[in-house]
Every structure is written in structure tokens, then in C-alpha cells.
Amino acid sequence: MQDLAGKHIVLGLTGGIACYKSAELCRLFVKAGATVQVVMTEAAEEFITPVTMQALSGRTVYTSQWDTREPNNMPHINLSREADAIVLAPCSADFIARLVQGRADDLLSLMCLARPMDRVALLIAPAMNREMWAHPATQRNLMQVAADGATVLGVGSGWQACGETGDGRMLEPAQLLEDITAFFQPKLLAGQKVLVTAGPTFEALDPIRGITNHSSGKMGFAIARAAREAGAEVTLVAGPVHLPTPRGVTRVDVLSAQDMLEVTTHAAQSASIFVATAAVADWRPATQSDQKIKKDGSGKTPVLEFVENADILLSVAKSERAQARKLFCVGFAAESENLAEHAKAKRERKGIPLLVGNIGPLTFGQDDNALLLVDAKGVRELPRAPKLTLARELMAEIAARLPDWRA
């Protein structure tokens, strides 16, 4: 997916060992469709060469404010005016202090100071030793650059090149790409609290075996990411899946349908939008054996009895908060046939404003999907596309419906 298509990014490198990550970040920007202009400080050149960054960006790297390639000798003006954003990765403690002071004694600091603040964003990915990161001066400077209009992307935690362990590492390139992609997405759900359920549930027969389904959780995780990109505060209740948590999303892992019901019911009390994407088991074993159920050699199979699980979506949709139109509920229907017919019936049965249908066997485990939106006005299809693309479209559909639904 070319999430940054049409964007022009100035990638600024300051002095730090994390410059080795900037090479991969530049590659990811280009792969995502952006054009990238690299600008390096003198200190950054001690860690990575301009030749490397030129090869990855496809553009000549700028290092000096006196670059004679600019006829007017003003690269700090020319380069900044072309940009949609200046991304400083890595941004050292020294350079953060320079930004606070309004220093302008090299090309990169000049560009940050001279950029049109109303249309050229400044995004900072700090990188430094853990003690430098924790120092009160650094924390004061970070608060000040944020107050001055920059976006601080945060840091990672772990082993550092100095041999110490703690906060201060530059975020990984893939994490930065996700954060910067989110930065450019329209904030259609700013101020909303979105609750998403995702993945399958696992209903245990004994300590070894259980009943589950083929849901991978990819659609629900894409929805959680898209909601966060749209500016919402997001809680993701995830069944047993092996997927990374989207950046900026609060994740709660559960196992069974009963676990999911308890967590979701509690979280729904403060949510404003609920998207029930999880493929929750309809039934669970009536009893669970304390020990593994073994074959006894007789050839007889065990007799299993089941009880029906609570309907999580229906329970939340009938809650006082939802009935008072303070909680917009969106359901998902995974069917194997007659999708429109079943989806319409399910929406009416649940009493919800919007239901999203899909054909389970065609979507489970896949990276793309096709959706059917069902509301009181009828049915509309979202053609097959990557799940994140569909999730973003769904967030736009929800945002468009909220004002009339709450009126």
C-alpha cells in the first residue's frame, strides 16, 4: 500500500548511532510512495554517508547551507517550501536543544526555523542514551518543542549501543512509518473512544484441546489501526491471535467468549463507538475436563454437550448507553452464503445502526476483503481491497453517520 503517495518528506539526520535506522526508514518512505529529500548535519556524516542516503532516496543529499546547486543560495528556503513534512530521525538531544533556542547555524536547523509552520509539519524521532533522555533539561526541551508546534513521536526502550538498557532508543523504522502515516490521515474521529473486538475465541474442552475458528483477527486489527489514525482513543479486545498491536492502541487479550464478554461490557461503558469484529463462538462445551480427554481403546467417542454463549454485540447494543444513543454499535457478520439476506436479518435482530457483512471463507487469514454495508437505507458494497483500506473507508462511513444518528 502506498500510504504516502503524493507526499514529499524532508528526512533530516542528526548525529547519532541510530542513523543506521534512517537508511531503512528512507527506503520505507519511498516504498510507501513518498518522495524523500535527505538533509544531514555534519555530525550525522560521522555515522552514515550521504552516498548511502542518496542511493536510497534517489536524490542528491544536502549537507550545507552554502550549497552552490541553489542559484539563490537559499536551500533552507527552497527545500522547506517543497515539503509536506520535515522528519528528524534521529533527532539528538543537542538538536532538540537547538530547536528550542531557535538556532540556525546549519542547513537543517535553518530549514526547521524557516519552514512555513501552517503547512509544513515538523516530526521528531528522538534518539539518545537513557540518562540523556531522562534528564530534566531534555524533558523540558521536548515539552517546549511540542508547545512550539512540533510532533514528538516518542522513543523505544531496550538495549542501547553504549551497553546500557532503558528508554531513549529511536523507534524502529516500521513503527515510525506507521506513526507518520497516521499523522497524515484525516482526523475524522477526533475525540471519540472506539472499542473494537477482534479475532476468534477459544472454548476449552480440556487443558489441551478446544473449539475455535479460522478468524485471523486481521480485519479487527486493521479497524483498530484505522480508528487510531482517525484520531480516536482506541481499545482493542483481542482473542487468541499472533498479530502486533497497532501503534497507539490499548490492547486487552482474552481467550474465551465469556472473557471477551466481561472485558467488552466494562470497556463499553466509556466508549462512544463499538465495532464488534470478533468471530465469537456461538457455543461452548457444557463442561470442561480438568485433565486431557484420552482414548480408552474401546473405539467409542466422547459425547460432548454444548451451551450457548452470550451474544456480546446484542448485550452491548441493548445496554442503557447504546439505547441512549451515546454508543454507536457496528456489527460484523461472517457468512458462507446469502450474505445480504443474512446481514439484513442480523442487523434488525441486533437493533444496531450499521452491520458489515463478509464471506468468511474468502476473508479468514487473507490480507484483503470485500465488505457489504447494511443500514436502514439499504445495502452498499465496498469492493475487494486491502483490509486497512477498507477499515479506513469504514471509519469514514461511521464518522459520516454519527451526527444524524445522535441528533
The residues assigned a catalytic role are 162
Burial class (CB in 10 A: 0-12, 13-18, 19+), 393: middle
Q: Provide the H-helix boundaries in 149-217.
A: 173-184
3-state SS class at 138: helix
How many Cβ atoms sit within 10 Å of the Cβ of residue 341?
11
For residue 126, the 8-state DSSP code is E
The residues that bridge with 285 in the sheet, in sequence order, are 306
Q: How do beta strands 368-375 and 378-386 pair?
A: antiparallel
Chain centroid to CA 354: how far? 23
> From CA 216, how far away is CA 358, in angstroms rounded?
14
Q: Which of 348, 285, 342, 350 is nearest to 312 (CA)?
A: 350
* H helix or E strand, kind and range, residue 111: helix 107-114
3-state SS class at 358: strand
> From CA 328, how far away is CA 321, in angstroms rounded?
9
> To 10 degrees, the CA torsion angle through 270, 396, 31, 384?
110
Length reported for the chain = 407
3-state SS class at 221: helix
Q: How do beta strands 85-91 and 8-13 pair?
A: parallel
How many Cβ atoms sit within 10 Å of the Cβ of residue 143?
12
> From CA 257, how far away is CA 213, in angstroms rounded?
12
Handedness of CA 16, 21, 23, 27 (dihedral sign): negative
* H helix or E strand, kind and range, residue 93: helix 93-101
Q: Do residues 351 and 375 touch, judged by C-beta distance below 8 A?
A: no
Burial class (CB in 10 A: 0-12, 13-18, 19+), 299: exposed
Q: Do residues 302 and 288 touch, judged by C-beta distance below 8 A?
A: no
